Amino acid sequence: MRNILCDTLTKCSDNPKFVFLTGDLGYQALEPLQQTLGERFINAGVAEQNMVSVAAGLAKVGLQPWVYSISPFVYARPFEQIRNDVCLHDFPVRLVGNGGGYAYGVMGATHHALEDYGAMLCLMNMRVFVPAFAADVLEIINQLHSFNHPAYLRLGRCEKPKDVDLPPYTPWRRLLQGEGATMLIVGPLAGGIIDAAQHLSDAYRPNLWILTELPIEPAKIPQDFLDDLEKSGHLFIVEEHIAHGGVGQIIARCLLEMGRLPTKFTHRHALGYVSGLYGSQTFHRQECGLDPTSILEKLKG
Amino acid sequence: MTTIKKLINKAKRRLLRMHFESNVGHIGGNLSCLDLLVCLYHKIIEDKDAFVLSKGHAAGSLYTTLWSLGCLSDEDLQTFHQNGTKLAGHPPINGIPKILFATGSLGHGLSLSNGLALGKKLKGEAGRVFCLLSDGEWNEGSNWEALIFAVHQKLNQLTIIIDCNGLQGFGTTHEVANLEPLTDKFLAFGCAVTEINGHDPDNIIEALSLTMTKPHVILAYTTKGHGISFMENKMEWHYLPMTLEQYQQALEETSL
């Protein structure tokens, strides 16, 4: 997703308001953007607190700053700068976190982003974008150009199965239909689950939905999703994020408020470091029951 | 008495009245930087310039200075710290055009000023950016990040004013986290440094008028609670409101 981010932003570089700041990251990825933007590409150094407030100052004078780093270094380290300098003032600063969830794998816990969108959604005016597929990044960036509020974009690795065609981009998309659970997936791990679940028999195959924008606005939950939920009676949430502040909690609250609660609720989410050992993103997903095999077992009851 | 000294005195008496009427503390650190703010706003700042109050607890001084310019009214100041006011204890998010950012958590203002200065540079706009910080505020690591950035990005239109009153939240700056020699530190980071008496208007205006080829740090040596005998250099005046007797004495000491 990082490459498509770079390609898309490079194409927008003729916008004189566009400024890109990186916290000294982007080697072998952001060089084309650096070359095209010239002085509007700022390597702010390993100093994320300053970088975020600088972005707020740039936004104050009418520029459109993007701030890039590995996820935890862009949402956790400068949290107060995001809260006070960006969100309180409702500045259109775009925070881009590379490596959502366990994407940095065996690099270790400090590089994982397991509570990123929950933390960001606590802040006033903040909107979160979690593209599930590389193609979503393009759509989201195009949307962000005219979005006048703070935004956090969580990037991961696209896992779209080759034989799956994506419907046109919307924040809620149904990718599979069946008679099983109503499944709502956040993030790129959707790809592997779609690949496995599409071959299930009708009875077990879920109505599989992808959600890419947060917070959830109850009025914008598609009627088709609510109909699916009513029919199946089973809401199955999958997200590479801890339970607290995650989509499971958010949608449960929405449905409670709407009086549309399902009879069965399954929430698969990040569990931290179950064995205390480290491995690839796949290893951590397996430890949390977020891998396609575990999800399929659950779907089959 | 010069016009600027009269203006400072008028603002000081209004500051005392505002804090007394609202029964609010933080007066010591307001009095240490009031001369700096009045000189800056009346003699230096032009429309194309920008100012950020990083030491947000000196909001009273800023409000009073804006009042002395006619940007805030007496009625506005009477709402200070009251329910429904736009004049909160620290600068508000919006509602006062000359206040660009809500500050109050220390160590944010300089980076915000960097953003303003960089933005002006990228847009090819003229104008200086001034940022007022406290000395204790240099405990914050983010300020040193900001300083490295300002020098590296050649934000030469940036003037960093430090209100060196020597007292911070729970002790003197020497006792809490001694940063001396501060001047050497700023020089080592690549700034231009000027040291002034922060209560001498001529000294202040002269330093603020300088244009430099590097970010300019003005170390303004000041007295917490300046001009009020029982407040000077007393840490408790970071916190305490005035009694009626103390307010009357403060007025006597500032009468011309």
- pLDDT category, B239, cuts 50, 70, 90? confident
Query: How many Å apart are CA B222 and CA B163, to the nearest integer?
Result: 6
Bridge partners of A235, per DSSP, are: A182, A265
CB contact under 8 A, A62 and B119: yes
pTM: 0.97
Inform me whether the pLDDT recorded for B235 exceeds 90.
Answer: no
- Nearest Cα to B38, choosing from B9, B16, B18? B9
Give how far the C-alpha of residue B174 lies from the chain's centroid of Cα atoms, to the nearest Å.
Answer: 21
pLDDT over 70 for what percent of chain A?
100
- Per-residue pLDDT tens over the stretch B172-222: 999 999 999 999 999 999 999 999 999 999 999 999 999 999 999 999 999
Structure token digits, residue A261: 């609660």
Max Cα separation, chain A?
57
The answer to whether residue B215 is domain-embedded is yes
Mutation for testing the A interface, residue in B142, B147, B154 having most A CBs under 10 Å: B142
- Per-residue pLDDT tens over the stretch B96-138: 999 999 999 999 999 999 999 999 999 999 999 999 999 999 9
Inform me whether the pLDDT recorded for B238 exceeds 90.
Answer: no
- Per-residue pLDDT tens over the stretch A129-144: 999 999 999 999 999 9
Query: How many Å apart are CA B14 and CA B17, to the nearest integer?
Result: 5
The answer to whether residue B18 is domain-embedded is no
Query: How many Å apart are CA B76 and CA A228, to the nearest integer?
Result: 56
- Is A62 in the B-facing interface, judged by CB distances under 8 Å? yes
Inform me whether the pLDDT recorded for A112 exceeds 90.
Answer: yes
- pLDDT category, B256, cuts 50, 70, 90? confident
- pLDDT category, A120, cuts 50, 70, 90? very high
The answer to whether residue B226 is domain-embedded is yes
B-chain residue closest to A16, CA distance: B123
pLDDT of residue A162: 93
Structure token digits, residue A208: 């599989």
- Nearest Cα to B57, choosing from B160, B167, B171, B204? B167
Query: How many Å apart are CA B143 and CA A89, to the nearest integer?
Result: 21
CB A137 within 8 A of CB A8: yes
Inform me whether the pLDDT recorded for B236 exceeds 90.
Answer: no
Helix-helix angle B27-39:B3-22, to 10 degrees: 150
- Per-residue pLDDT tens over the stretch A63-97: 999 999 999 999 999 999 999 999 999 999 999 99
CB contact under 8 A, A53 and B115: yes
Q: Where are the domains of chain A?
A: 1-155, 172-300
B-chain residue closest to A55, CA distance: B115
The answer to whether residue B164 is domain-embedded is yes
CATH code, B165: 3.40.50.970
pLDDT of residue A301: 80
Residue A83 DSSP class: I
Share the mean pLDDT of chain A.
97
- Nearest Cα to B100, choosing from B129, B76, B138? B129
- The string of DSSP letters for B7-64 reads HHHHHHHHHHHHHHHHT---HHHHHHHHHHHHHIIIII--TT-EEEESSGGGHHHHHH
Asked whether the domain spanning A172-300 has the same topology as the one spanning A1-155, the reply is yes
Share the mean pLDDT of chain B.
96
User: What residue type is assigned to position A289 of the chain?
Assistant: G
CATH architecture group of domain A1-155:
3-Layer(aba) Sandwich (3.40)
pLDDT of residue B21: 95
Helix-helix angle A134-144:A2-11, to 10 degrees: 40
- Nearest Cα to A236, choosing from A207, A214, A265, A209? A265
The answer to whether residue B233 is domain-embedded is yes
CB A123 within 8 A of CB A152: no
Structure token digits, residue A97: 């976190």
CB contact under 8 A, B105 and A84: yes
The count of domains in chain B is 1
- pLDDT category, B144, cuts 50, 70, 90? very high
CB contact under 8 A, B114 and A54: yes
Inform me whether the pLDDT recorded for A51 exceeds 90.
Answer: yes
Mutation for testing the B interface, residue in A39, A53, A125 having most B CBs under 10 Å: A53
Inform me whether the pLDDT recorded for B25 exceeds 90.
Answer: no
CB contact under 8 A, B112 and A61: no
| β-sheet with A207-211: strand ranges across | A172-176, A207-211, A182-186, A234-239, A264-268
User: Helix (H, G, I), strand (E, B), or coil: what is residue B250?
Assistant: helix
Query: How many Å apart are CA A208 and CA A189, to the nearest integer?
Result: 13
CB contact under 8 A, A57 and B93: no
The answer to whether residue B5 is domain-embedded is no
* Runs of H (alpha helix) within chain B: 3-22, 27-39, 59-68, 74-78, 109-123, 141-152, 173-177, 182-188, 201-209, 244-253
Q: State mean pLDDT over A214-218.
A: 96
The answer to whether residue B251 is domain-embedded is no
CB contact under 8 A, A57 and B142: no
State which CATH number among 3.90.245.10, 3.40.50.920, 3.40.50.300, 3.30.540.10 fits the domain covering A172-300: 3.40.50.920
- Is A54 in the B-facing interface, judged by CB distances under 8 Å? yes
Domain that holds residue B215: 27-59+89-238
Q: A191-195 contacts: CB < 8 A, separation 24 or more?
A: A191/A132, A191/A133, A191/A158, A191/A159, A191/A160, A191/A161, A191/A164, A192/A159, A192/A291, A192/A292, A193/A238, A193/A292, A193/A295, A194/A161, A194/A164, A195/A159, A195/A161, A195/A164, A195/A292
Q: State mean pLDDT over A260-289.
A: 98
Inform me whether the pLDDT recorded for B237 exceeds 90.
Answer: no
